[in-house]
Structures are given as structure tokens and as C-alpha cells.
Structure 1
């Protein structure tokens, strides 16, 4: 999907002018015009603003992965499988999640404010996390841990847990989860 074309389509369907979209989003008319013509790209946080104004979820702008049957997934073929409000972008690290037990993902977490409430939760399965970049704050059973690049966590997902990024830089991690919600024709978020 071409994000710029989709933004223009949504904007015109809602009867919003470029100038109005510019004022609401605090992005320049020139930038928005270039975006709609496919001449520039947009940062996720700016796209999130536009999604809110156009009354769609951020994931509206991304295609879910196709069932490829190749064994090797090239880095340039990684597709977004989910983008969650609050700045979580999840990429599939598999060419075929159908009938698989594990869900390997690359996750990028944008900075968030420390005063945002982080609610822990539990779910079936187990989880493995390996931090590639940044400092991840992980909550496990009410206790907070700072997890640095090269650090990992392997746990039962039935333990109350969640994570956050309280730094001013992006956190990048690899997460491998069970069970596989994606391989059963259900797009469901485990984080």
C-alpha cells in the first residue's frame, strides 16, 4: 500500500483540505503534498497523528504478511504484522507463520512518557526476548528490570508482565512467543 495515496484518499473522503490537515497535524502543507504524491516518507509518530485525524488505526496503512513459502526471509522482505498505539511496531521474522508453534518478531518501541500507566497482563504460552538496541524496562510480577543490549529474558507468559521504553531512543528487540495467534488466521496482539 502506498501510504501517501491512502492518506489523500482518506482526506478527500472526509472532505479535509491539505491546509486543514496541516493545521491539525502540525505538519507543513508542502510536506503533506509531497507525501501524498509519494515524494517523501513519514515517521511513524507523524503517521500516527494523521491516522488519528483521519479516524483510522495506524495499522490501516500497513499490509499484513503474505504466506510466503520460502525458508529464508531477507531483511528487505520483513513485513509489519502489527503496529500498536503507543509506538510498538512489529515485524514478522518468518516467511510462513501458518501451522507453526513459534512467533518470531522484531519489535521496535518508540520512547514513551514515564507517567503513562503500564498494565501487566498474563497469557498462555512462553516468551523469549533479546534486546538488540536501547534499554527496555520490563515489569515481571510487579518488579521492574532494565534490560540492556545483549540481555535476554525467557519466561512463562502466565506470569504478570509487560514492557516499556522510558528512554529518548528507540528500543529494538527480538521476541519469540508461543502460542502462535497469527498462524491461525487471527491477527491478535500478544504485546
Structure 2
């Protein structure tokens, strides 16, 4: 007989592992702009995860939405404008800001930059 505590743990782990989402390279909703490409890797009720590739000198449009936004630079050098304040981010740098303030990203490097953005809640971020 399995003790009650072990059954409870088994149920929690089963629920946890049953909610796994995997996106392979090349999968996900894609939104392209002038010099940048957003790929939605995961969208749930609580968050959206976006992988962005942005060409040198290119920038996103100003955008605002509810919640918070976390950005992590995987490659390159970015200039992040949040409410008129400018922040420079490089490889492995990250930032968190409220999404209600207009914000945009520009690649200030000489090569394509790649960064990951997590928005919570997902609201209408990159949705139709």
C-alpha cells in the first residue's frame, strides 16, 4: 500500500508533467516587421514567450499592454527604450519592466541580435 503522502505527490507530479509544451526550431506563430521577426514559442493563460531576431539598425515599434515584460539577450546588443528612458543590454543581460509604459527595442550592434521576451499576462501581445 502506498502512503497517502506519496499518492498526493504522484498526482502533483503527473499534473505537472502533463502540462509540458515543446516548440521545436521553426515552430510557432511568426510576426514579421521591418528588420525583425517575432516567433511566439509558448502562449498560455498566464504568459507568452517570444523569440525575436532583429537586424542591425532595425527597431520594433513602440508598444504598450498590460502586465510585465522580461527580456533576456541571447546574442547581440540592444537599446531598449522604456517610457523615453534608454537602456543598453548585451549578451546575457536582462531587464524587467511594466508593459503599460510604451517600449521598443533597437539593435545597436553590427550583427543580428536575438532575445527572448516573456510577457505576463499575455493579454493581446502579438495576437490577432
Cα distance change on mapping 1:187 and 1:135 into 2, 3 Å: same
Q: 2:48 aligns with which of 84, 98, 103?
A: 103
Distance 2:33 2:61 in 1: 14
Q: 2:83 aligns with which of 136, 141, 148?
A: 141
Could you say if the C-alpha distance between residues 82 and 182 of structure 1 is closer, same or farther in structure 2, counting changes exceeding 3 Å? farther
Q: CA RMSD in A?
A: 2.8
Inter-partner Cα distance in structure 1 for 2:103 and 2:56: 19
Do the aligned partners of residues 88 and 80 (structure 1) sit closer, same or farther apart at CA in structure 2, a change above 3 Å counting? farther
Residues 65, 124 of structure 2: 8 Å contact kept: no
CA shift for structure 1 position 72? 4.3
Query: Could you list the runs of 5+ residues in structure 1 that have no partner in the other structure?
Result: 1-68
Structure 1 residue 75, shift from structure 2 partner = 3.6
Contact 2:65 / 2:123 at 8 angstroms: preserved in 1? Answer: no
Change (3 A) 1:90 1:121: closer
8 Å contact kept, 1:86–1:112: no
Equivalent residue for 1:71? 20
Query: Matched residues in 1 for 2:96 and 2:35: separation?
Result: 23
Unpaired runs of 5+ residues, structure 2, are 1-17
Do the aligned residues in 2 keep the contact of 1:111 with 1:166 (CA within 8 Å)? yes
Q: Which residue of 1 aligns with 2:66?
A: 124
Deviations 1:81-105 (A, max 9, x none): 22322122122333xx3x5210012
Residues 133 and 75 (structure 1), Cα distance of their counterparts in 2 relative to 1, 3 Å cut: same
Using the size of structure 2 for normalisation, the TM-score is: 0.70
Residue 171 (str. 1) matches residue 113 (str. 2): yes
Q: What is the distance in 1 between the residues matched to 2:121 and 2:21?
A: 22
Which aligned segments of 4 or more residues in structure 1 are displaced greater than 3 angstroms? 118-121
User: What TM-score do the two structures reach when normalised by structure 1?
Assistant: 0.49
Q: Aligned residue pairs: how many?
A: 111
